[in-house]
Amino acid sequence: MRHDVSTRDGYCWDHSTPNSGAPGAVTSVNPTESDKYPFPFPNAVDPSLAHIDAIRVRAFKEQPDLFLMLISPTQGQALYWFVTLFKPRAILEIGSFVGYSLAWLAEGYKRNLAQGMVPPLAADGQHPITSFELDPMFVDIINDNMQRGKLDRLAKVYQGPAQASLENLAPGTQYDLIFIDADKSGYISYYETILRRKLLAPGGLILCDNTLMFNQVHGQYPPVKRAWDSDTLLVDGSQDQISPDCSPHHIYQFNKHVANDPRTEQLLLPIFDGLTIIRVKE
């Protein structure tokens, strides 16, 4: 399975395809090209965190058609850095799939715990990291992956539609870091609910994935030959126009919504498929 997005779309494509089955073992998207032009930077992923790749390898084996729903290893490391830099006490993820990004968040939290940078785990068993996932089958896989990685005491996944889960959070619940990576049609609503319900703690950050949507959200999202729908991962080469129902359109609307919102400020980091950081203006 090859994904040659890098050359066509001009991306720094770090979502190489695992194929050996060994955690951390990845092959480049285009071995010929990378042999000719070796990547001139240090390893994208800290080798001491390579064990997290076991989740990616497993997803590639068990859900090959959905594999590209995962954030990339570099993005995973970016999440880890956010957690270890900002030391959030409570984290929320919206859209978990098999728990790959969740594992990066949890590993960051684990490091903060070990260094005494966050309070010890609550005696009542409460988890510092909460994640929402719609698909019950994925919830089972996430639980298994969290147990395998010994992260199950840190992160708990709740099954159900994220909008309802957000509405059901107890009044006063707040998170220092919220990562949004579920259905793109829900982004504006999740963002608005977070602000309306004051779910973001003072000084907190919202991170949103896929805000470049594979180069399809620039300007007026010009016609493309390839349409990406993140919910089904459908690649439809016959499409000349992006449909108003598809993910690039939703992300375009979301980016515009956030850019025009005087309550917040944002920064789009062009890591993999775009990661937007949002904070409330003080």
Nearer to ligand SAM, 187 or 252 (CB): 187
Considering only residues 150 through 209, tell me which ones interact with ligand SAM, judged by CB under 6 A. 161-162, 181-183, 186
Binding to ligand SAM by CB under 6 A, coded x per residue (else -) over 48-77, reads ---------------------xxx------
Task: Report the residue from 101, 211, 215, 255 that binds ligand SAM according to the rule CB under 6 A.
Answer: 101
CA distance 207 to 195: 14
Q: Tokens 């498929």 — which residue?
A: 273
The reply to whether 11 sits near ligand SAM by the rule CB under 6 A is: no
Q: Which residue is nearest to ligand SAM (CB)?
A: 95
Structure tokens at 222: 């010009």
CB count within 10 Å of CB 186 equals: 20
The reply to whether 97 sits near ligand SAM by the rule CB under 6 A is: yes
The reply to whether 271 sits near ligand SAM by the rule CB under 6 A is: no
Structure tokens at 196: 């309306």
Distance of alpha carbon 146 from the chain centroid: 16
- Least distance to ligand SAM, CB of residue 184, Å: 9
CA distance 73 to 50: 9
Distance of alpha carbon 232 from the chain centroid: 16
- Least distance to ligand SAM, CB of residue 104, Å: 8
How many residues of this chain bind ligand SAM (CB under 6 A)? Answer: 20
Amino acid at 172: G
Cβ atoms of 52 and 219 closer than 8 Å: no
Task: Report the residue from 14, 53, 107, 133 that binds ligand SAM according to the rule CB under 6 A.
Answer: 133
Structure tokens at 65: 């058609």
- Based on the number of CB atoms within 10 Å of its own CB, is 247 exposed (0-12), middle (13-18) or buried (19 or more)? buried
Nearer to ligand SAM, 134 or 224 (CB): 134
Q: Which stretch binds ligand SAM (CB under 6 A): 24-32, 126-134, 240-248, 258-266?
A: 126-134
- The residues binding ligand SAM (CB under 6 A) are 69-71, 95-97, 100-101, 132-135, 138, 161-162, 181-183, 186, 230
